[in-house]
Structure 1
Amino acid sequence: MFALTRARWALLLSLLLAAWPAAAADGQMNLGYVDTERVYREATAAVKAQKRLEQEFASREAELATMARRARDMKQALDSGKLAEAERKAKERDLLALDREFQGKQREFRQEFSQRRTEEFAAIQERANRVIREIARDERFDLILQDVVYVSPRFDITDRVLKALDD
């Protein structure tokens, strides 16, 4: 799929708007809209994928939380002012090392989580697009949009897409 530039969008919209009166007069123009984010939140496959991801990454997330607590405790000990100079310097070095390790693991965690989420939701998106095309063909839609700034609720076919995905 190619990305539409602003000029292409403007051309596409102007062509649609130019054709709209004639199509509307004949009762021919059939438009629809799908809320992709809602599909990703509510479709059974999406909910299951999110749970799989949470389970898959739970231990690493817990490890990061433990490291964050250790760093917080070390920082509190340093801020208390009750440490001898040598002990304070040692704790500062330990805190810096822990912070570097935490930052690296957190960055790795985010990258891997993002990659796995993309993999999981790519299959859902592909299936949703197939369902949308089937609905468009079966119900004779002329145009179905996703990700728009505003659309009248009368054009929203998200419920039909969710139902077809969950069947």
Structure 2
Amino acid sequence: MSLRALTLAALTALPLAGVSAQDLKIGFVNSERVVRESNLAKLAQAKLEAEFGRREKDLKDAAARLQAAGEKFEKDAPLLSEAQRTSRQRELVETERDLQRKRREFQEDAQARRNEELQVVVERANKVIKQIFEAEKFDLILQDAIHASNRVDITKRVIDALNAQK
């Protein structure tokens, strides 16, 4: 059964339990917006940039050096002996393979760290959502609904509460 079907079934069963639709207090949180706009998320992004910025620059520099070496080889190739040409081609291929390996490692490391930082933001946001849920006596808070009116959107309150935390 899909989440939508479960939610619909739960909402239709509520009147049977003595709760009318007018008595329901429902909230909605746009998780993507929380992850994008909260200070905690911005701090995590800055931390990742500081952590991986140097490595990324080194990779870009290595790519530029490889391109320059390839262009120099193309220019010098007619003047080189067969052995020299083969040797330089082999060096270029090995350098390119090494660069591709370093790029893959960089992307894997950066993605793993991004996921770790995102998890921290999500966990803290979920705690804030639960606090709002309990303090304001919500019956239901949904995250990432397909459609939600501004009347039930509490995303800004979640972001503000996250930003207020130290």
With structure 1 as the length reference, what TM-score do the two structures score?
Answer: 0.83
Counterpart in the other structure of 1:4: none
What is the Cα deviation at residue 122 of structure 1? 1.6
1:27-56, CA deviations, whole angstroms, 9 ceiling, x for partnerless residues?
Answer: 211211111111111111111111111011
What's 1:16 paired with? 10
State how 1:64-79 maps to structure 2 within 5 Å. Answer: 64-79=59-74
Instruction: Specify the SS of the correspondent of 1:156.
Output: coil
Equivalent residue number for residue 52 of structure 1? 47
Cα contact 1:20–1:29 (8 A) shared by 2: no
Match of 1:41 in 2: 36
Deviation at 1:151, TM superposition (A): 2.2
* 8 A Cα contact 1:40 1:46, kept in partner: yes
Identify if the C-alpha distance between structure 1 residues 85 and 142 changes in structure 2 by more than 3 Å, giving closer, same or farther. farther
Segments of 5+ residues of structure 1 without an aligned counterpart are 1-6
How far residue 161 of structure 1 moved from its aligned partner, in angstroms, is 0.2
Matched residue of 1:155: which SS?
A: coil
Letter in structure 2 aligned against 1:136: F
8 Å contact from structure 1 (residues 39, 162) kept in 2: yes
Distance in 2 (alpha carbons) for counterparts of 1:145 and 1:48: 26
Find 2:98's aligned residue among 97, 101, 107.
101
Q: Once the two structures are superposed, what CA deviation does each residue of 1:71-94 show, in whole Å capped at 9, x if it has no partner?
A: 222333345575435344333212
Identity, % of aligned pairs?
A: 38
Q: What secondary structure, in the 3-state scheme, does the structure 2 residue paired with 1:144 have?
A: strand
Structure-2 separation of matches of 1:11 and 1:148: 13
Task: From the superposition, tell whether residues 85 and 140 of structure 1 become closer, same or farther in structure 2 (CA, over 3 Å).
Answer: farther
| 8 Å Cα contact 1:67/1:98 also seen in 2 | no
Q: Deviations over 1:106-161 (max 9, x none)?
A: 11111111111222222221111010011111112111111233322322111000
- RMSD over aligned CA atoms reads 2.2
After superposition, the Cα gap between the structure-2 partners of 1:34 and 1:10, relative to the gap in structure 1 and judged at 3 Å, is closer
**Alignment-mate amino acid for residue 29 of structure 2:** V
Residues 11-40 of structure 1, C-alpha deviations (whole Å, 9 max, x = no match) = 41231341467622xx21121111111111
Structure 2, unpaired ranges of 5+: none
TM-score normalised according to structure 2 size: 0.83
> Separation in 2 of the partners of 1:10 and 1:39?
22
What is the number of equivalent residue pairs in this alignment?
159
1:62 maps onto 2:57 in alignment = yes
